[in-house]
Amino acid sequence: MNEYDVVVVGGGAAGLSAALVLTRARRRVAVIDAGRPRNAPAAHMHGYLSRDGMPPADFLAAGRAEVVGYGGHMITGTVRGITPTVPAGDTGFRVRLADGGLLLARRVVVATGLRDELPDIPGLADRWGRDVLHCPYCHGYEVRDRPLGVLGGSPETVGHALLIRQWSDDVAFFSHAYELTADERQRLTARGVRIVEGAVTRLIIDGDRLAGIELDRASVVAPHALFVRPRLVPADGLLTALNAVVVDARTGRTDVPGVWAAGNAVDPRAQVITAAGAGSAAAIDLNADLVDEDVRAALPFSAAQEREVAAILASVTLAHQE
């Protein structure tokens, strides 16, 4: 019961989408997921056609139900390691779970996502996904026309502020530990973004809302929401351990035969809808690869293969006689 055509590691949008396509293709599929989705702090997800505003937990629950409805298996846990099966050249894999379990798979999809590394500012992590936000395409409309802040820290944060200005006329760029260039100051000013000097020391929380941002200059500014660009850290340890590198961005096929990757593990910028599409594309390419293998296995031996087998049998017989 632990043998599968495909084991999908990661039960987010990419992994579930891949599993859905593969189960509908009548493949035996297991999805292994630890139950810690990246977007869990967010109350709603946006930008997904027909699912706009849906709570992330509801989205994942619906996806799991669909996969199970087509015969897929959902396994709660984490993967400790993936190793190719023996003999060498076989495209099968042993998938070992942290609890000691073992699954055998002909193919593997790695869809392990990523994690957000946030600046170490008191109060910031507690409000993540609520009024401390990252993606304006995901949350900008919900805070439109409100006073908004953008936390500085790199040249990318300047571009973030210029973008977020699209959703509000009142945007403040908190320079924090970042030294703006003259050109960056000019661009922010031209776009109508206010520059607030000084390092941010903490976020002030009143009840269950962001009430202010305290600076080291003893001043307090009170935006409705603060946009932050976290450090995006792909959870690609399994791919690294396999020495797998994506060689086809369209399908997620890696240079390790039998391994595909999809979602934020390989594309940190992918939104939920993008990750789901990548999972679907990987599944279609993977299933075609399985079909090719199934056909090869069903073909009779070629004349060359028959001669090779005959030679091996003859050598074994000769060795036995000697």
Residue 54 phi/psi, 5-degree rounding, is -75, 135
As a whole number of Å, the end-to-end CA separation of the chain is 44
| 30 CB-near residues (< 8 Å, 6+ apart) | 4, 6, 7, 8, 72, 73, 74, 75, 103, 105
Query: Can you give the pLDDT at residue 218?
Result: 75
pTM confidence score: 0.89
Under a CB-based contact definition with an 8 Å cutoff, are residues 140 and 39 in contact? Answer: no
CB distance 198 to 175 below 8 Å: yes
Q: Are strands 220-221 and 209-215 parallel, antiparallel or unpaired?
A: antiparallel
Residues 6 or more apart in contact with residue 146 via CB below 8 angstroms: 168, 170, 223, 224, 225
Pairwise CA distance, residues 223 & 217, whole Å: 17
**Residue 90: predicted pLDDT:** 59
Contacts of 129 (CB under 8 A, 6+ apart): 39, 40, 41, 42, 43
Structure tokens at 71: 């015969």
Residue by residue, pLDDT tens for the chain (322 residues) are 799 999 999 999 999 999 999 999 999 999 999 999 988 889 999 999 999 999 999 999 999 999 999 999 999 999 999 999 865 555 799 999 999 999 999 999 999 999 999 999 999 999 999 999 999 999 999 999 999 999 999 999 999 999 999 999 999 999 998 999 999 999 999 999 999 999 999 999 998 899 999 999 778 888 999 999 999 999 999 999 999 999 899 999 999 999 999 999 999 989 999 999 999 999 999 999 999 999 988 888 766 666 676 677 667 665 655 5
Q: Strand pairing partners for 299?
A: none
Q: Is 267 helix (H, G, I), strand (E, B) or coil?
A: coil
The whole-angstrom separation of Cα 241 and Cα 157 is 32
Find the length of the chain. Answer: 322
Residue 269's Cβ-side half-sphere holds a number of Cα atoms within 13 Å equal to 0
